[in-house]
Structure 1
């Protein structure tokens, strides 16, 4: 049986706003100190990678050791990359935070939904005779 389904049009809006506020988070100063300390360790590691990579690169080139030279080049590039990421991390996070804060979701349009074409009914129609599966094949 084909039926027109009745819909109840209900609109539900969930208003949630996320605004980071330092005063609302307990222990935020300790967390900031921890992050700044990790950034300091990362900067020291980046300097060490550049220095050690530069030494390996120079010695590898001087002594004709291709592997040491390529590992040294990789170390220098990795050190510079780490320093860039440590320096740019806050800018990247702030950019995506501001971009995400300006994003809005479209309002749902319930009117675009179509009713189902076939509705299964629990009541059997006595006027319909169903053939058994064995007679169909």
Structure 2
């Protein structure tokens, strides 16, 4: 193995490690349990996750929504904002799809933003 080949291999290993660390750090700042904001959601609880009338959770790079889940990958921090763009690989109700989403901190919880859609999620009390 040449010196340059060894150097290249080390650089690739470091880049992969840094990318994995960035994914973990980006997702951790949003990990939690949330419920939708709005009058029609006031009866929703913070205990039942993934069902109508329940909560939404983010844990370990996965959003557990209402009868679906999305694996978040390729985080990109948004300059000047507490927000992150992700590629989302989703599955639910027998279908799979991909989308680009942004998760942004708010004083009450989070905004979950995708193409032509914005959801407001409030923090659930810690259990």
RCO higher in structure (CA 8 A, sep ≥6): 1
Which has a greater percent of strand?
Answer: 2
TM-score scaled by length of structure 1 = 0.28
Which has a greater percent of helix?
Answer: 1
TM-score scaled by length of structure 2 = 0.30
Whose Rg is larger?
A: 1
